[in-house]
Structure 1
């Protein structure tokens, strides 16, 4: 029990570190799209597409130690779901907070928690791996 808690704590710490790197990459791409005049939906798609392969390698490899190609469709589905949630929240917050970039900065920690929960429980869970092997 203590060993599994320590392992989970280490994995969360790695997720935070890798998430910071992924976030800087994604936020930079997103901000560049906005800066060049793209609409918010296109900036989010650009940031997500640019980071998808990079994030799969960093998250799958460094956090969950699993780069199995069979996880890519679920990983991508989680990305689409978090994209849609993020887009809706940006549109809701932008008029209140003062624009899409600041809204994304405010939403980043919230989206990180949601992403970790989905990655650990849906994409890279041991149960989802054993279920896929039984299919």
Structure 2
């Protein structure tokens, strides 16, 4: 891969992040509002939304940002592991920031999301979608 294409990758990464965020913010409410069964079973809707959004995000990063070929199971495992670990870290960190540090919940969550964005770039470029012999 040429250096110019690698230099464009961070821009594609940010664009994919915008698309994934918009999709994620829209999918859950649309699911709850349009599937009557899920009005009452909103946690089931959340599980479905998280699974669908995880697959959608994986595909946007694989196809639109890193453009790797093959290795779907390996990449999806690494991709999913990153987000599962971050969900767990978020559940542990947010109460500490709010209850112990006295930070407003929205501010604390926004800061955590900022760290997540930076961390996801490094994780996905160096682990999930790493191509042997390529520098990120």
Using the size of structure 2 for normalisation, the TM-score is 0.66
> Secondary structure of 1:97's match?
coil
What is the CA distance between 1:85 and its match in structure 2? 2.3
Q: 1:87 aligns with which of 79, 88, 91?
A: 91
Q: Please list, as runs of the form range in 1=range in 2, the aligned pairs for 1:30-41 lying within 5 A after superposition.
A: none
Question: Residues of 2 paired with 1:93 and 1:48: CA distance?
Answer: 24
Distance change (3 Å), C-alpha of 1:107 and 1:53? same
Q: Retained in 2: the 8 A contact 1:48–1:83?
A: no
Q: Please list, as runs of the form range in 1=range in 2, the aligned pairs for 1:92-131 lying within 5 A after superposition.
A: 92-95=96-99, 96-99=102-105, 101-127=106-132
Distance change (3 Å), C-alpha of 1:92 and 1:30? farther
CA RMSD in angstroms, aligned pairs only: 3.7
- Structure possessing the higher radius of gyration over alpha carbons: 2
Q: Retained in 1: the 8 A contact 2:68–2:131?
A: no
Distance change (3 Å), C-alpha of 1:20 and 1:97? farther
Question: Residues of 2 paired with 1:72 and 1:14: CA distance?
Answer: 19
- 5+ long unaligned stretches in structure 2: 30-38
| Number of aligned residues | 121
Q: 1:77 aligns with which of 81, 105, 118?
A: 81
- Hey, what does 2:63 align to over in structure 1? 61
Using the size of structure 1 for normalisation, the TM-score is 0.67
- 5+ long unaligned stretches in structure 1: 37-41, 129-135
